[in-house]
Amino acid sequence: MVTARAALGAAPARGNGCERHNPMAPRPHWLFGDQLGPHFVNPRGGGPGAHAPLVMIEARSVLRRRRFHRAKAHLVLSAMRHRAAELGDRVTYVRAETYAEGLEQALGHPPAPLTVCHPTSRRALDFARTRKEVEVLPAKGFMVSHDDFARWADSRQGLRLESFYRWVRARHDLLMDGGEPAGGRWNLDHDNREPPPRGQETLDVRGPWQPREDAIDDEVRHDLDRWERDGDVSFVGRDGPRRFPATRREALSALRHFITHRLPDFGRYEDAMLAGDPVLSHSLLSAPLNLGLLDPAECVERAERAFRAGDAPLNSVEGFVRQIAGWREYVWHLYWHFGEDYRHRNALRHTTPLPDWFLDLDAEAVTANCLSTVLAQVRDTGWTHHIPRLMVLGSRALQDGWDPAAVTDWFHRCFVDGYDWVMLPNVVGMSQYADGGLMTTKPYTSGGAYINKMSDLCGPCAYRPTARTGDHACPYTAGYWAFLHRHRARLAANHRTSRAVKGLDRLKDLPELLDDTARRGDTPP
Ligand code: FAD
Ligand code: SF4
């Protein structure tokens, strides 16, 4: 067992309350690595348990199981160790092989009774629920409770983001004026789809907040180096300087910086891509939100305040609120609502394994400028915004028929903000249409024309976005038609894609296009 101080190299503290459980004392409370904000520490508010001793477990088996992005491993360990350092002697910080071993190290054999907030993955929830000493408390870190979502879902015929989002807005009185949406419209997406300004390599916006690394980051980097050297774990991607907040204080600085300097331009260029400016006006808050360092309600409330004060326009604020109070909440609840077998859905029967160049984030192996650029962003930072995720990475996987479970695993491992709950609906549903339309009404994929319109990536590319065949054929354009052809029957029956399918009949070069596509196989595009 290691106290927080020992985890950081200091002498072990004595008698922190976890080693022997006094039946009169409040039960210890376990914090998972994505439950790091103040709202997880006293989950029952004041009263009994308000000062319960805390337990944190750094389980090595989690890193051993999969090949994570190194920047993600760094961020999570850094955030956990920073939190332990802040909590001081109140926390027992254990380094163990598994959670089960960690509980025994912290709380004896068998472990003393303890509480934990509802974990964010089914695996962790199952573990907690099967341990009789663990009491699972309601989830924290989301705006809508499980019970409220269940009541909402039961009252609907089908689930749609737009109606969920409006319901959340009204319930939380978010951007509302006397029961009506501020500005008279619920949805300002139409104003938020501008292509990037032509001829500009970057947006004219203050850059994102950046952290300064400290001794804890050095220690984490040292440990990761050692584990890799010992052959204990293997990572993908680069662990450059840490880019995302690892403490509550850093997360609040990042939020403040975003609201003050970047929120006003958030909406307009939300869907745009620039090779030289991958972050544009995005908030980069998914990582601290998903680590539990920020509460979603405080993020949207601050954005609304900026709007009310006249510091940010409605389209940007509505766009940001939609992402957090709409999409993030919706995705969280769909993860639980869709059930365990959702991860195995494969409606399109896609079974191709992921090619090595993709698994290894080998951007240099790829000729297609959009894919190479985005793959390099993932390799270097573990992050890209939603359009590269959906329309470059996910679209490539969908067009090439990659196994959706393997694609989900790849996103989970390679993104700093990737967790089981957020990956499954976003990848299985949104990006790979593997649920056959439970989450979206049509598959999200496009030809090169969309990427050309929304980015500056096609100009320097060796391919032409309009070319379907031949040496300059754009893999997205050819891949789009090949995808429609492969799933012609299903997509013809969907009113949102039937027109596109009819376009196939007008393609005189379809046989040549299909031959070219088949010949390419898994060679990097
Ligand atoms: P912003 O564009 O600034 O948006 C603000 C916030 O809204 C984000 O920080 C995030 O918390 C929330 N948000 C927006 N869309 C979603 C969404 N679809 N699901 C959940 N939260 C959302 N988001 C993750 O947090 N983790 C993931 O692993 C993840 N995987 C994705 C995989 C695919 C294929 C796609 C299409 C989207 C995925 N997203 C994921 C959603 C979205 O891409 C990221 O939340 C966003 O790009 C993070 O950058 P940001 O913080 O700058 O977001
Ligand atoms: Fe990507 Fe095609 Fe544009 Fe090249 S031409 S950048 S492959 S969309």
* pLDDT number for residue 451: 97
Tell me the CATH number at 185: 1.25.40.80
Which residue owns the Cα nearest ligand 2 atom 6?
458
Statement to judge: residues 291 and 352 lie in one domain? no
C-beta of 475 in contact with ligand 2 (< 6 A): yes
CA distance 344 to 16: 44
Statement to judge: residues 71 and 36 lie in one domain? yes
Domain count, the chain: 3
Confidence of residue 47 (pLDDT cuts 50, 70, 90): low
* pLDDT number for residue 16: 43
Beta strands at 2-3 and 91-96: parallel, antiparallel or unpaired: antiparallel
Tell me the CATH number at 491: 1.10.579.10
Ligand 2 centroid from CA 396, angstroms = 11
Which residue owns the Cα nearest ligand 2 atom 8?
448
Statement to judge: residues 202 and 253 lie in one domain? yes
C-beta of 7 in contact with ligand 2 (< 6 A): no
Which residue owns the Cα nearest ligand 2 atom 1?
370
Statement to judge: residues 478 and 504 lie in one domain? yes
* Helices vs strands, H then E, count in the chain: 24, 8
Q: Kindly state whether residue 231 falls inside one of the protein's structural domains.
A: no
Closest ligand 1 atom to residue 444 Cα is: 36
Closest ligand 2 atom to residue 464 Cα is: 5
Q: Kindly state whether residue 229 falls inside one of the protein's structural domains.
A: no
Q: Kindly state whether residue 21 falls inside one of the protein's structural domains.
A: yes
Tell me the CATH number at 66: 3.40.50.620
Statement to judge: residues 281 and 410 lie in one domain? no
Ligand nearest to the CA of 299: 1
Ligand nearest to the CA of 453: 2
Residue 81: closest CA among 230, 242, 298 = 242
Statement to judge: residues 311 and 277 lie in one domain? yes
Model pLDDT for residues 361-391, shown as the tens digit of each residue = 999 999 999 999 999 999 999 999 999 999 9
Which residue owns the Cα nearest ligand 1 atom 9?
286
Closest ligand 2 atom to residue 525 Cα is: 7
Ligand nearest to the CA of 384: 1
Ligand 1 centroid from CA 73, angstroms = 19
In the predicted structure, residue 42 carries a pLDDT above the cut 60: yes
Statement to judge: residues 427 and 459 lie in one domain? yes
Q: What does the block give as tokens for 52?
A: 């319960």
Q: What is the 3-state secondary structure (H, E, C) of 227-253?
A: HHHCCCCCCECCCCCCCCCCCHHHHHH
Ligand 2 centroid from CA 178, angstroms = 47
Residue appearing with tokens 């949406």: 181
- Residue 265 CB neighbour total at 10 angstroms: 18
- Residue 350 CB neighbour total at 10 angstroms: 21
Statement to judge: residues 118 and 181 lie in one domain? no
CA distance 394 to 302: 32
Q: Kindly state whether residue 227 falls inside one of the protein's structural domains.
A: no
Q: Kindly state whether residue 287 falls inside one of the protein's structural domains.
A: yes
Per-residue exposure over 220-234, b if at least 16 CB sit within 10 Å of its own CB, e if not? bbebbeebeeeeebe
The domain boundary, picked from 337, 370, 394, lies at: 337
CA distance 195 to 270: 9
* pLDDT number for residue 22: 60
Answer whether 396's CB lies under 8 Å from 413's CB. no
In the predicted structure, residue 352 carries a pLDDT above the cut 70: yes
Which residue owns the Cα nearest ligand 1 atom 20?
328
Ligand nearest to the CA of 425: 1
The domain boundary, picked from 137, 166, 194, lies at: 137
Q: Kindly state whether residue 13 falls inside one of the protein's structural domains.
A: yes
Ligand 2 centroid from CA 467, angstroms = 10
Ligand 1 centroid from CA 523, angstroms = 29
The domain boundary, picked from 337, 364, 388, lies at: 337
Ligand 2 centroid from CA 370, angstroms = 6
Q: Which helix (H) or strand (E) is 86 found in, with range?
A: helix 70-87
Closest ligand 2 atom to residue 392 Cα is: 1
Model pLDDT for residues 213-226, shown as the tens digit of each residue = 999 999 999 999 99
Domain carrying residue 156: 146-209+245-337
- Residue 179 CB neighbour total at 10 angstroms: 7
Q: Kindly state whether residue 228 falls inside one of the protein's structural domains.
A: no
Per-residue exposure over 123-157, b if at least 16 CB sit within 10 Å of its own CB, e if not? ebbebbeebeebeeeebebbbbeeeebeebeeeee
Residue 251: closest CA among 214, 286, 221 = 286
Question: HSE-up of 439 (CA within 13 Å, CB side)?
Answer: 27
Statement to judge: residues 332 and 352 lie in one domain? no
Instruction: For residues 297-324, give the mean pLDDT.
Output: 97
Q: What does the block give as tokens for 33?
A: 């690595």
CA distance 344 to 342: 5
CA distance 125 to 104: 18
Q: Which residues pair with 338 in a beta bridge?
A: none
Statement to judge: residues 427 and 450 lie in one domain? yes
Q: Which residues pair with 265 in a beta bridge?
A: none
Statement to judge: residues 400 and 271 lie in one domain? no
Q: Kindly state whether residue 234 falls inside one of the protein's structural domains.
A: no
* pLDDT number for residue 64: 85
Helices assigned H by DSSP within 382-520: 386-387, 395-399, 404-414, 420-423, 448-454, 475-486, 488-492, 498-504, 510-520
Ligand 2 centroid from CA 384, angstroms = 17
C-beta of 474 in contact with ligand 2 (< 6 A): yes
| Range of weakest confidence among 46-55, 73-82, 325-334 | 46-55
DSSP 3-state of 467: coil
Statement to judge: residues 364 and 497 lie in one domain? yes
